[in-house]
Amino acid sequence: MKVRRFTARRLVIELILFLLVLVVAIPFYMIVIDSFKNQREAAQFGLGFPTVVQISNYVDVLQSGGILVGYMNSVIVAGFSLALVSMCAALAAFSIQRNGTRLTNAIYYIFVVGLVIPVAIVPTIRLMMSLHVHNTYVGMILFYSAVLLPFAVFLLTGYLKTLPRELDESAGLDGCRPIHVFWAIILPLMQPALVTACLLTIMTIWNDFLGPFYLLSDSSKWTVTVTVFAYIGKFNTNWGSVFADITIVILPILILYFLLQRYIVEGMTAGALKG
């Protein structure tokens, strides 16, 4: 009796979960399947296979050009930002966590403020103009570094708590300078958390819209998400090519997620729960 009830319950759970997965999966399926349809068929948002499979939507999207430039811009901005963010944050977290004084705690909380407060757009534009980095890659990289540093510092400081102080001291006894302790011992040990920080940096920059939308008026520097906005602004009646555009844009992020989801999910939850 008990066993039977048990299996029935299992069955119900499996069924519910399966139906819920459909709720998540069907929209993605719709994007992909409709991206191979012609304009009229795609506008019906059907879930059936296209009557004629055509890749012309993808050809159109690639030929319109914006997306390749967007890809390149996103890679440049994300690449430099992640190098800057991970190095600076690791160094800062090391000093903040290991010192643990009133001053460093205060600095830590100043960083935490950045997790909560939104960006001040207009003053940022004015600041970048006065520094002559408005509408430049350098400006965007510095902007993203400033926005993403708080989370990276937060995450890495939390992770450092799990690395016992004795590790540094064993090296310190050998007379190593602090930078060597950091470089030779701490940095390699922080690798899992660093990978998480890097992945989140890449994903945030790839997906961000608000920053470049406000800060970049030069369309040749638009990152990939802004190019989606621009593309749809121009061709909003052709859902086939809109879906093709979306597919090309979300593909790298999905691949990254499916391959490295352990780092992404665990990093996010660990970072969140330690707060």
- Find the binder of other proteins among 8, 55, 59, 120 (CB under 8 A): 120
- Find the binder of other proteins among 153, 155, 244, 248 (CB under 8 A): 153
Binding residues among 189-218 for other proteins as defined by CB under 8 A: 191, 194, 203, 206-210, 214, 217-218
- Find the binder of other proteins among 16, 59, 106, 259 (CB under 8 A): 16
- Does 154 bind other proteins (CB under 8 A)? Our answer is no
User: Exposed, middle or buried: residue 29 (CB in 10 Å: 0-12, 13-18, 19+)?
Assistant: exposed
Residues counted in the chain: 275
Binding residues among 46-65 for other proteins as defined by CB under 8 A: 46-47
CB 123 within 8 A of CB 134: no
- Does 1 bind other proteins (CB under 8 A)? Our answer is no
- Does 228 bind other proteins (CB under 8 A)? Our answer is yes
Euclidean distance between CA atoms 265 and 275, whole angstroms:
16
- Count the Cβ atoms, other than its own, within 10 Å of residue 261: 11
Q: Which residues of 177-187 are buried (b: 16+ CB within 10 A; e: fewer)?
A: eeeebbeebbb
- Find the binder of other proteins among 51, 63, 162, 219 (CB under 8 A): 219
DSSP string, 134-189: TTSHHHHHHHHHHHHHHHHHHHHHHHHTTS-THHHHHHHHTT--HHHHIIIIIHHH
Find the distance separating the first CA and the last CA of the chain, reported in whole Å.
46
Q: Least CB distance from residue 67 to other proteins, whole Å?
A: 13
- Find the binder of other proteins among 4, 7, 48, 118 (CB under 8 A): 118
Backbone angles phi, psi at 159, to 5 degrees: -70, -35
> Which is closer to other proteins, CB of 159 or CB of 206?
206
Size of the site for other proteins (CB under 8 A): 119
Query: Within 13 Å, how many C-alpha atoms sit on residue 105's CB side?
Result: 3
Instruction: Give ∠ CA 65-34-62 in degrees, rounded to 5.
Output: 10
> Which is closer to other proteins, CB of 52 or CB of 239?
239
Q: Least CB distance from residue 256 to other proteins, whole Å?
A: 8
- Does 168 bind other proteins (CB under 8 A)? Our answer is yes
Binding residues among 125-144 for other proteins as defined by CB under 8 A: 125-127, 129, 134-135, 137, 142-143
- Does 116 bind other proteins (CB under 8 A)? Our answer is yes
Q: Least CB distance from residue 135 to other proteins, whole Å?
A: 5
CB 126 within 8 A of CB 219: no
Binding residues among 73-92 for other proteins as defined by CB under 8 A: 75-76, 79-80, 83-84, 87-89, 91-92
- Find the binder of other proteins among 182, 197, 201, 263 (CB under 8 A): 182
